[in-house]
Every structure is written in C-alpha cells, then in structure tokens.
Structure 1
Amino acid sequence: MRRDTLSSLALVSSSVACGMMAWSGITLALPLAVAFPAFWSLAPNRLTAAMVSAGYFLAASHGLPQGVATYFRADLWLGLALWLIASSAFVLVHALLWSSGTGWASGARYVLAMLITALPPIGILGWAHPITAAGILFPGLGWIGLTAMAAGLALMATRYRPAAIVAFASLWIWSAACGKTANLGHEWLGVDLKLGKALGRNGSLQWHRDLFTRVNSVREPGYRVVVLPESALGLWTPTVERLWREQLRGLDTTVIAGAAIVNADGYDNVMVSVSATDARIIYRERMPVPVSMWRPWANWAGQQDGARAVMFGTPVVEIAGSRIAPLICYEQLLVWPLLQSMLHSPDRIVLIGNGWWTEGTNIVAIQRSSAEAWSRLFAVPVTISFNR
C-alpha cells in the first residue's frame, strides 16, 4: 500500500512539473508535454489517473486564477473556482478513458482522449494540448508531422514508450539546434501596444486620431499591412470607419485591427480591415473566452450582453493578396480553430489579442509560444499583435 501511495505521489508530482515547465511560455520547452501520456498510462488506478491529469492541466494553466481575478476585479477565490471548473472536462475525459493495460489498447484510448480534448465541445477548454509540440519536433512537416506527433504520443501511453522517448529526445535536440520560425516577411507589421484596459473603451474621435498617429509613427516603408490588437478600434461604427479611411487616404496601407459589433444577441468580437478605399469585417471570432465573454446561458436568463461564438466560421480570408488564418486571443490556446484554418492552406497566420488582464502571469507568453509552434509546423509565417 505504501509503495502504491509513493508511486502515485511521484506520478502526480512529475505531471505537475511537466505541465509547469512545458507551458512556461518558452517555445522550446513545449516538447516536455509529451511526458504527460506516459504519467497518465502508468497510473496504478483511475483515481491516480485523474490526479495526474488534474496536476498537468492545473500546472499548465496556473496563471488563470490571477488573470480571472484581475479581469473581474474580484477576489482570488473566483479565479480559483473557474480554474478548477475549467480543468474538470480535461480530467474527466482522461479519467474515464484510463485503463490498467499498457498495450495498444492504452495507446488507442489516449488517441481518443487527444481527439476529444482537441475538438468541440470539450475542445472549447482544450488548452495545454500536448499535440502543440508537433511544431517543435516536426517543423515544416505540416499534417504529416501532426500525424507523426499523434502516433508518438500514443506510443508514450504503451510499453513501447522507451522507443518514443528516444525518438522525441533526438528530434528535440535537432530542433533546438536547427529549427527556425517561418520567415515573417517584410510587408506585414504586428504592432504591440501597452495601453492596458483602456484600449477600445474610449470611443472618442480624438482617441482614434491618437491611435492612428501611433500606428503611423511605427509604420516603416515597405509595410503594406499593419496589424493592431484585439479591441483596438472599440465599437465599429460607420463614423469610425469613415475616420480611419480618411486618415489612411494617400497611404498604400491596410490596417487590420480588433473591434466589436453590437447586435441583437450581444456582440461579435471581430477583425476588421480598413484602407483608404475599402473597409470590411473580415472575421468574427469562432470561440470567445468562456464565462468572461461567451455566455450561452445568458439568453436563457434574458441577458444579451455576451459575445457570440461563430464556431467553425470563416477559417481563411484574403487580404492584400494573401490568404490569412485569423485567430483572436483565446483561440490561440486551442487546437481546432488553427487546424480548421490550416485545412485551407493559408499564406500567413494573423493573431491578435488583448492581454491587459494577464499582468503577472505567463498567459500571453504561452499564446505566443503556441503560435510559434504552429507556425513552425506548417512553415507559415505569423504576424502577432497584443495589447498589455
């Protein structure tokens, strides 16, 4: 009994360390996540498997409680509660699919767990997915690399894990020595802002003029597209559209920025594209942040103040002669929005976010490292714009 207890404690502790280090925000550390299926499959019983899963997920998302408390201006207890609730789906799936065997059946069960936690509805909370490390271990191999990564993770849940460990370790060393992020190019510029929670909350014309001045000051010759963070333009109205088109008159520049469109059911979190000659909504967020933005239960309660989820909406859009895969903030932590976009072979990934509420956490760093990993896997350049 004592030996089983010590073994369980060791597995849970190792899983916590695995989640903490893999999702530290350091891109090259992502492959440490491949150890999770080994710890999960080695659990002596279902309870330990649940604890191993909880340890990994909670450690990987340890910045969430503080971020939630900051966002809602609430006590840390609210953040802790939502942190535990968010982990429940991941833990439940892995606890139910755990088995005591170490043969191919165990690998098959882990493949099923990977799929369930990567795709909606469970995939809505599918952060910290080990498959993200495919970009570091199989750069440039795209769907082939993704398949190889899935096969390797399945092997980690079987008795053949030593062979998978050797293969993963060799690929990791090779990637650290030779791997590179896809070329960013010289025509797209992602502008990071440090305007805190004030961004997008001031709808005055002077605010927009000042923001344009800031954009124009960092714009360099040769850049055709400038990308601004989520919520940068606040509420998108005909007046705001006319102002930006007028300010861009005479410039061969397109601005892509985050904004919000109010509708009868709440609002859409969107990306807009504006130039001197044209302005349009190019993307409506497929998966806003649950609870803080997306509240599907709000309509049942007669409330209409949440963001709408346009699941499996527009995966790719053409801007300035390039097909882009757009992602807004929370979507960068998930698997399925990016993979849905990659099915359409985009030329570039464009990511925007508003992370003022993440101060003191590594959430934005994790978003950036995930983006870099996917960029490496599919050899597609990425343009990122965040507000802090």
Structure 2
Amino acid sequence: MAIALRWFDRPDGATARLHLRGVLLLRGIPGYRGLLMMQNTEFSASPQAALTGRQHPSRVAHTLLAAGIGTAVALTAWYPGHYAIALLALPAAWSRLRSQLAAFMLWASYYLAGARDIPMVCARFFGGYDELTRPPALALGMVLWVLQAIVLALPWVLLKPGRSLLDRSHVWRAVVATLVVTVPPVGIIGWLSPLHVASTLYPGWRWVGMGLGMAALCAAAMPQAWPRTRVTWTALVCLSVCAHWQFGSAAPPAGWIAVDTALGRFDQSSYTPLYERNARLQAIARRAFAAGNIVVILPEQIAGLWRASTALWWRADIQRMRAIGQTLVIGIDIAVKTVPLRYTDSAIIIGAGHGRVNSRQPVPLALWRPGGATSAVPGSLAQPYPVIAGKRAAISLCYEDLLWWPHWRTLVEKPDVVISQSNGWFDGDLALSRIQQQGIASVARLAGAPLLRATNR
C-alpha cells in the first residue's frame, strides 16, 4: 500500500482539507486479487477535530445554536433582563457564524423574542376598538410578528462578512447593517436596536457616545486575530470608564411630576364618556397641583380628540393655571383634516406655558394608516424643544420610546429633561411596556438628562 497525505490549512482557520492520494493493493483475500485506486480523495475537518477526533456540529445544531444566542441576548438585554451590554454578543456571533442561514436565525430569533408581545397587542388593540374579532386580530399579530423579524434580520444576512482573516469588510458591514435597521425606512420599525449599547457604555456623551457605541459594535464583529482589535477594545474600555466617571444621574426639576393613570381605553363615541373622562383628568391635575407641583404631565392621548367642547370644559382650569404659574402637559389628538380624518398624536402645553409637540412616528398600522379612512399623520423631525417653566424638554410620544431616530436632537442639543407620554391600556401587563420604558430610559441616559414618564393603563 502506498498513500501520500497532504494537509492544507486555510488562513481563516476554517475547515481544512485533507487529501489522500495513493494506491491500495488488496491481497491475501482468498480467491480475490484486486486494485483500489484513491485519487484526490478529500475529507473535511477542522484542526481541532483532527486533534480530538470529533467533527464540527451539524448544520442544524449550528443553526439552533445561533437561534439560542439571539433569544438569550433578547431576554438578557431587554425585559426581563436589563443588561444592554449583552447586545455586543450579536455582532460578535454574526461575524463568526458559518452561514447566512445561521446569521438569519441569530437575528430573527432576537427580534422574535424581543417583540414577542405583538400578537397579543394586536388582539387587544384591534379587538378593543371592535375593528377585528379576537381570532383574526391574533392571526394578524402572528403575521406581523414574523414579518418584522424577517425584515429586520435581512440586512444582517445580506451584509454578513466572510470568516476569512483576509476579509477586511467587517467594520463597514456592521456599520451599514446597524444604520439600516435603526433609521427609516426600515427604522420605522427599528425597535431593539443594538445601538442601545451606547447608553450603557457611554452615558451622557450624546453623539460622541453614539459614535463610540457604534465603534463597540464594530469591534465586537472584528476577528480577534486582527492586531488592531485589542488596541480598539483597550481604547473603547478606557473611554467607557471615563464616561462613567463623569456621569451623574440628574434629578428631575423640582416641582415637576408625571402622573400615571388607570383609566383604560377611552370611548369617544358619545358625549357622556367624553365629559366624564375630562372631568376625571381635571380632578387628577388639580390634586397634583395642590400637592405643590408647578408642572404636571399626563399620559399620551389621554384626553382624546381635542374638540370645541373639550376646550370649553378646560377653559376655567387653563385660566387658573395661567394666573398662578402652573403648567399642564397633556396628550391629545388634534384634527388636521376631517374627510378623510387626519389627526396628529400630540402633547400640548397649557396654563402658564404654551406649546405643542406632534409625534414624529405614530404607531404603524394602529394609528398611522396611510390611505386609510382614519390616520394619524407624522410630525416634523425639525420640531424644536418646547420650553416648559424655563426648561428645555425633549418629548417622546408612546411608540417613539422604542426608536432612536425621532430623538436625534437629544444627541446634539442636551435637553434639561426628557418627557415620555404613553397610553398602554392594552399592554400594561406585558413585557412590551417594560421594554418601551427601557428604550426611552436609554435615550435619556445617553442624553444625560432626567426622565419623567406618564403612562395610562
């Protein structure tokens, strides 16, 4: 028998090739004399497998491992977890996985786990307004849940780098994929962005912190064998230590309060519930002011569509607040067109102060329905900070809590306070409401500003 062995090791440490070339003579078998030729026979194995005698896990196991990592990161970084540093594991695993299928499973499982409440939210929201019965609403929610994961995972799949050490595209691919899933048009559903790691690593550093957070995601995607990787990580860690040393949690302005309510869904179909809701809100605001507060914040859409009758009911309270220097920030809808009905999801400032902020991105499908008979319309991204009792306030309305891009101004102009208004009558007991709170808390932390948040259950 004559056999020649040749071992070819690839520079990226991936599967090596073992070639056997030779001639094997079969002798000594009674009644048989033969010749078996082996020409360029190829076996695949890793160097580790050659030493241990074990082969790589199967493709199925590898794909399941990727899905497990994505799910674990979602549950660690977001509710019930609160360790956003875990988001660095996503680009690290993404760049090292062997296939695009595994990369898809990594990111799809992350978005599926993080947005797991979408089916139930659809069932409650559309069922609550009698637009759909529960089974169709739940089915719609399942479809949307799967579709959002596919849409948000695809940029990562298409931009997955090769595993070769010679492939130098890891950094730009990570940057492009992160931006695609964070800013519009895909960023319209850009929840759970990996960029939230920036607020954990570089609190209070605003746009510099955001840039360094992006650099950390890129560093996680870089092969550890690159000489510059260790240098990059050393610099990023040192800067993170500096950011934490400088950062101090700011307290909300004295005399400011955000009031949570438990008024449920607002029925605006007749005069009686309209009047009763506004009467209850007036009583809540009066109690808050009576406690010595000068600025009171109520939840998003809590007063419903602002009508002439609504303005009449509030006239006396507005005059009283103006006279004694009290300001109310309240969530309402303001009609901008009647046929078809178009309105803004807004926060208005009444009393001693005056102003209005429109939601830059109402909830897709639930409120924002382009072409529908009734739809909220997005506000301008150029809206300045309103000044409330001498303080510049960055206002986030409900769905915006989950996104980065509506808050671009907080990265370049530090607000004195971040105000979040939400109306979660349909998700108060779900993980989504906690994840939403984590999202806006991340924005406020990176901006270095205190957060005041009013919600309705």
TM-score over 0.5 for the pair: yes
Which residue pairs with 1:100 in the alignment?
A: 162
Matches within 5 A, 1:81-230: 81-101=143-163, 103-160=167-224, 163=230, 181-198=249-266, 204-219=274-289, 221-230=291-300
Cα distance in structure 2, aligned partners of 1:166 and 1:71: 48
Aligned to 1:274: 350
Give RMSD over aligned pairs: 2.8
Which of residues 332, 335, 353 in structure 1 aligns to 2:422? 353
The verdict on how the C-alpha distance between 1:77 and 1:206 changes in structure 2, with shifts beyond 3 A counting, is: closer
Q: Is the 8 A contact 1:318 1:324 kept in 2?
A: yes
Greater C-alpha Rg: 2
Match 1:364 to one of 410, 414, 433 = 433
In structure 2, give the amino acid aligned to 1:272: I
Q: Does 1:78 align with 2:133?
A: no
The corresponding residue for 2:18 is none
Q: Is the 8 A contact 1:329 1:353 kept in 2?
A: yes
Residues 316, 344 of structure 1: 8 Å contact kept: no
Distance change >3 Å, CA 42–CA 21, structure 1 → 2: same
Tell me if 1:65 matches 2:119.
yes
Q: 1:278 to 1:239 in 2, by over 3 A?
A: farther
Q: Matched residues in 2 for 1:171 and 1:21: separation?
A: 24
Q: 1:112 to 1:260 in 2, by over 3 A?
A: same
1:122: Cα distance to partner? 0.9
More relative contact order, 1 or 2 (CA 8 Å, 6+ apart): 1
8 Å contact from structure 1 (residues 190, 226) kept in 2: yes
Contact 2:415 2:447 in 1 (8 A): no
The match for 2:315 among 231, 245, 252 is 245
Match of 1:283 among 354, 357, 361: 357
CA spacing shift, 1:195–1:167, aligned 2, 3 Å: farther
- Residue identity opposite 1:231 in structure 2: Q
Unmatched tracts of structure 1, length 5 or more: none
Structure 2 residues not aligned, in runs of 5+:
1-55, 128-133
Name the structure 1 match of 2:389.
320
Q: Identity percentage over the alignment?
A: 28
The answer (yes or no) to whether the contact 2:414–2:449 under 8 Å persists in 1 is no
Indicate if the aligned counterparts of 1:136 and 1:179 stay in contact, CA closer than 8 A.
no
* 1:51 and 2:121 aligned: no
CA shift, 1:208, in A, is: 1.4
Q: Does 1:35 align with 2:89?
A: yes
Q: TM-score, normalised by structure 1?
A: 0.88
One-letter amino acid of the counterpart of residue 330, structure 1:
Y
CA contact 1:315–1:326 (8 Å) conserved in 2: no
The CA deviation at 1:77 is 2.0
Alignment deviations for residues 326-385 of structure 1 (CA, whole Å, 9 cap, x no partner): 110001101101123443332221110101111431111112112222222221112111
Secondary structure, in 3 states, of the residue corresponding to 1:263? strand
Structure whose residues are more often strand by fraction: 2
TM-score by length of 2: 0.76
Query: Is the 8 Å Cα contact of residues 289 and 326 (structure 2) preserved in structure 1?
Result: no
Query: 1:173-225 CA distances to partner (integer Å, 9 max, x unpaired)?
Result: 99999976432222321111111113777763343122111222233554221
SS of 2:399's partner is helix
> The residue matched to 1:118 in structure 2 has which SS?
coil
2:22 matches 1:22 = no
Alpha-carbon distance between aligned partners in 2 of 1:360 and 1:165, rounded to the nearest angstrom? 39
CA contact (8 A) 1:285 1:327 kept: yes
The verdict on how the C-alpha distance between 1:167 and 1:343 changes in structure 2, with shifts beyond 3 A counting, is closer
Q: Residues 174 and 358 (structure 1 numbering): CA distance in 2 closer, same or farther, change over 3 Å?
A: farther
* Matching of residue 3 in structure 1 with residue 51 in structure 2: no
Q: Which moved more, 1:351-360 or 1:162-171?
A: 162-171
Q: Deviations over 1:246-269 (max 9, x none)?
A: 124154211111101123252211
* SS of the residue 1:345 aligns to: coil
Q: Which amino acid aligns with 1:45?
A: S
1:269-316 C-alpha deviation (Å, 9 max, x unpaired):
1111111x6655x111110111111112x2xxxx43011122524142
Deviation readout 1:4-38 (Å, 9 max, x if unpaired): 43222212211111112211155x42221221111
**Separation in structure 1 between the aligned mates of residue 241 and residue 437 of structure 2, nearest angstrom:** 21
Structure with a larger share of its residues in helix: 1
- Partner of 1:269, secondary structure, is strand
Q: For 1:257, give the aligned amino acid.
A: I
Q: 1:307 to 1:211 in 2, by over 3 A?
A: same
The code of the aligned residue for 1:252 comes to G
